[in-house]
Amino acid sequence: MNATQAPPTQPLRRTLTLNDLHVGAVFQPQWDTRPLRVIAFDEETVMYDCWWPHIPGWGIDSLNRNTTYYRISTSLLLSKCEYLRTEQYTEIELSTHRPDLPFGFARFADIDWPAVCPASADEFPNGCASYQSSQLCLDAKKIYLQPFGPKGSSKSGVMIEAENPAGFTVSEILWHAARLQSPFLREIKVTTGTGIYRSGIQRKLPSYYIWGSKSRMGM
């Protein structure tokens, strides 16, 4: 190389944006040799599957299992991953994973899970009869809900079914969550507020975990 010649430079990596994200997109993270495949995402969080070389194949090889999705912040994926390709999910996979469902809902900072569950959804405390409570917010007939233990550990999921086949209302979800959570509550609280967050799938149904007004990731 001529002394006056500048050394060759690597092509600049294009900055990814939210528009580059889509279900089935495969990315190569900088922190791992294994690629990841997007299952669902929003502006804050990406839920994904991971490639396992020893299989070899994607980690979620069965829809019948109790599976908790991997997750990272959307900003981290966009800044530290390179897009490789897209591997479309089958119709059966999409209908099981339900990437259209919200990641979090029934989030209230001004109420806590009651130690004694109300007799019905209409009796849930502190104004949850607001307009939000009467609106359908979760378009699923059945889901699994996972309560948390006295020290915050996850307990086994329990299937719940909406009164209306079109989906659950906020007040209905709150009541089911309070019913499942109340046996595990103690005087010392591990959360504040209420909230229910997407976990993964269980027996081909969407699963959610019960927590406070912020998720376990602090979002």
- Range with the largest mean pLDDT of 12-21, 129-138, 178-187: 178-187
Least reliable range by pLDDT among 86-90, 116-120, 189-193? 116-120
The three-state secondary structure class of 172 is helix
37-53 pLDDT, tens digit each: 999 999 999 999 999 99
Distance CA 48, CA 35 (A): 10
Measured CA to CA, the distance from residue 105 to residue 179 in angstroms comes to 17
- For the stretch 176-198, pLDDT in tens is 999 999 999 998 899 999 999 99
Beta bridge partners of 28: 82
- Res 11: pLDDT: 47
CB 173 within 8 A of CB 167: no
Confidence (pTM): 0.87
Is the pLDDT at 13 greater than 70? The verdict is no
CA atoms of 160 and 44, how far apart (whole Å): 27
**Amino acid (one-letter) located at 156:** S
CA atoms of 7 and 3, how far apart (whole Å): 9
| Helices and strands (H and E) in the chain: how many | 3, 14
